[in-house]
Amino acid sequence: MKVPSNYPINQPKTYKVDSSKVELNQIHSVFDPKELQILSTEEEQKILYEQAKIPQSTVIEHKGKVIASFAENAWRYFAKSSDFNENYSNLSDTQIIAELTKKYGKSLSITNYPLGAGPTRAELFERVHGHQLRFIDDHV
């Protein structure tokens, strides 16, 4: 399968590298079509619905507005990209809260919920954005 591209793909060339020859092959596709799994609309809707139902174990607010949440499945949400730092991937939830506390100070509010008792991802999305998730139908 060839994927159209705006980038020119050169014919195979041989380059000399440390006395060894390395052949660069022409690339036709980034994906192996045998490994692609295409979901039906119903399957995709079901997965998105399940994700939207995941309870949040921690909700972080600044002056009454949700700025972040941590889900029970280790998924993390930040309402604004300015509150996210790529180094957060290597930090624990407690360390991230400490970083946000440095930024916002005492006006930060952290609410921890028992397992299964926190608001869902869909509920927090609605609080942050003022409307339901667009892919969610009347199940939520």
**Pairing between strand 65-71 and 56-62?**
antiparallel
- What pTM value is reported for the model? 0.64
* pLDDT value of residue 98: 92
Residues 6+ apart with CB under 8 A from 75: 54, 121
Amino acid at 102: K
Residue numbers of the chain with a pLDDT score lower than 50: 1-11, 15, 19-22, 24, 26-28, 140
d(CA 140, CA 136): 7
Question: What pLDDT, on a 0 to 100 scale, did the predictor assign at position 3?
Answer: 46
Q: Where are the beta strands (DSSP E) in the chain?
A: 13-17, 20-24, 56-62, 65-71, 76-78, 108-112
